[in-house]
Amino acid sequence: MSSLSTLLWGPLAIGASEWLQLFAHFMTLSLLAVGGAITTVPDMQRFVVGQQAWLTDVQFSACIALGQAAPGPNVLFVAVIGFSVGGLAGVVATMAGTLLPSTTLALTASRWGDRHRHSRGLRAVTAGLAPLTIGLLLSTSWILLQPVGLRAGALALVIGTLWLMLRTRRSPLWVMAAGAVAGALGWV
């Protein structure tokens, strides 16, 4: 395969039906992404690694790490997964699948929410989404810890992060900085 062909269609040479599957799966996950796309990583991993075997656990974790390390929106890891699976066509499939439904839903919900902001039901739903988001982030942490194993340092970082986010109003940037330092020093 030529280098241009690999860039456009990806190293795995998946077909149109696989791109459609990729698009449809990421579109479904987009509607479940309470707290951002990162909360759907466990199911992305299940689909891309476990079910389709397009990537290994290590490749999948590397996609997440590369996407999160890059400057820009938090959702860039979805593009890296798409590129690793299907080149630029994979990027289009994963990003369009992720952004189209959630953007449409967010615009519609924000307009409706503005009109009903004082509704008791809306306030209850909003309050209930916080624990859901924390649970989804914990499951993401669990999936991302699998390739490195349950090392004490990594587990301590997850528990410390959970405690800090639940008990304080500190910025998550401090936790991210601590994780970067711990990783650079080889503690996790």
pLDDT tens-digit series, residues 6-17: 555 556 667 888
Name which of 40, 38, 39, 60 is nearest 49 in CA terms. 60
- CA distances for 2 relative to 5, 44, 90, 171, angstroms: 5, 29, 17, 46
What residue spans define the domains of the chain? 3-118
Query: CB-based burial of residue 136 (10 Å sphere; 0-12 exposed, 13-18 middle, 19+ buried)?
Result: buried
Average pLDDT for 155-171: 80
pLDDT tens-digit series, residues 132-143: 877 887 788 778
pLDDT at 109 exceeding the cut of 80: yes
Rounded to whole angstroms, the Cα distance separating 45 from 145 reads 12
pLDDT at 168 exceeding the cut of 80: yes
